[in-house]
Structure 1
């Protein structure tokens, strides 16, 4: 069995007339948290959406757990125990937090059938989910919605969790809470691919890192090594971590 749970090789993605990804090579090792970094417009979100089949690669391959998923439809990809939290979080605003969670719990037809042990674990990770359980999700703050979005993604055990900018627009205290939650998720054995702009977030959590520019991965390696090399940071990201 490969040490890499997810592998992209030579992936190109076109959106209409636009050629966004130009041969992306990316590996996500099992049981680790991989950071996907890069300037705005580098192709990070397009990479995540291509993995999930929301946009299909026009060339190259996407392999998950050894299986070619390049041309599969999104529901089938999600059914392989992959959860995706988009940048806009995808919260159903008119539904309660409980109803949002129930939609993702495919084995439960009602709240009473949800795994109580797992729910209690999620409540410890994200206390706001329990606190606002019966509140309309649309009434929550941005940070609370983000917690609900991640909690919903892990209401059932996942092999791979893909999250697009979980700390975007959040207050520092909530970011620290989110860092602790992802650290616990990582320790539970979940493989995580994370797009992030918050450098503190990246340094605290990342095991491995891939840096994108102009639709390609231009650097891949240890997050700790990148965090220690200011010259490399400036050349890749235009700033020092």
Structure 2
């Protein structure tokens, strides 16, 4: 097992009067792709937002590369080469695809300063980003917007990529393209944490898995083992993979 790049220890999160996370323990191995699964309302998105400092943990510890990041704000966390793609994707609809990408390229003040070799690699992962480079992002389809959201997150090298439900609402062909892209990202050395509801997506990509229920991690282990254990799937998720 690889060393853990990201760990959560006993993390509690309150949103107003609501106690959402109830002592989350989670380990994300370096260089692997970890799936975070669970029923709707289990606390998956809250876990991601807590990691990113968008919501502050009220108790417990979040560590990245051995550093305590629990009390850092979101810009400080992003500067550690952690990228986050929310379920909403966060696309700037009135800007072009190029302008969306440039906003995320912190080392470039204009498009010509972006890393050409990296852009070429991103275009190979997501051809629609190149095809619609000068088009308003708001005119893209849902699948194309999701590709842009992930492309924007990796426009500069990232050590950890966190993505919330990348396959939601996408056509099967787009999902297959997304699976191929994440597989290539993992092969390039990026550590990835995905929240996902598409079980086939999870089964094909995941190295490790954590399953949440009622604000806690109730199972953690190998994705392959979960995929092969129908009784465990039924117990944890109420379905069979």
Could you tell me the TM-score, scaled by structure 1's length? 0.99
Question: Number of residue pairs matched?
Answer: 240
**What is the Cα deviation at residue 172 of structure 1?**
0.4
Q: Distance in 2 between matches of 1:3 and 1:173?
A: 34
Q: Give per-residue Cα distances to partners, 1:84-130, cap 9 Å, x unaligned.
A: 00000000000000000000000001000000000000000000000
Q: Give per-residue Cα distances to partners, 1:12-32, cap 9 Å, x unaligned.
A: 000000000000000000000
The unaligned stretches of length 5 or more in structure 1 are none
Q: Distance in 2 between matches of 1:160 and 1:238?
A: 30
The unaligned stretches of length 5 or more in structure 2 are none
Aligned to 2:110: 110
Q: Give runs of ≥4 in structure 1 deviating > 6 Å.
A: none
Q: Give per-residue Cα distances to partners, 1:63-87, cap 9 Å, x unaligned.
A: 0000000010000000000000000
Q: Distance in 2 between matches of 1:138 and 1:76?
A: 29
Could you tell me the TM-score, scaled by structure 2's length? 0.99
Q: Distance in 1 between matches of 2:236 and 2:50?
A: 23
Where do 1:66-215 residues align within 5 Å?
Answer: 66-215=66-215
- Give the SS at the match of 2:179: helix
Q: Distance in 2 between matches of 1:115 and 1:200?
A: 34
- Give the SS at the match of 1:58: strand
**What is the Cα deviation at residue 47 of structure 1?**
0.0
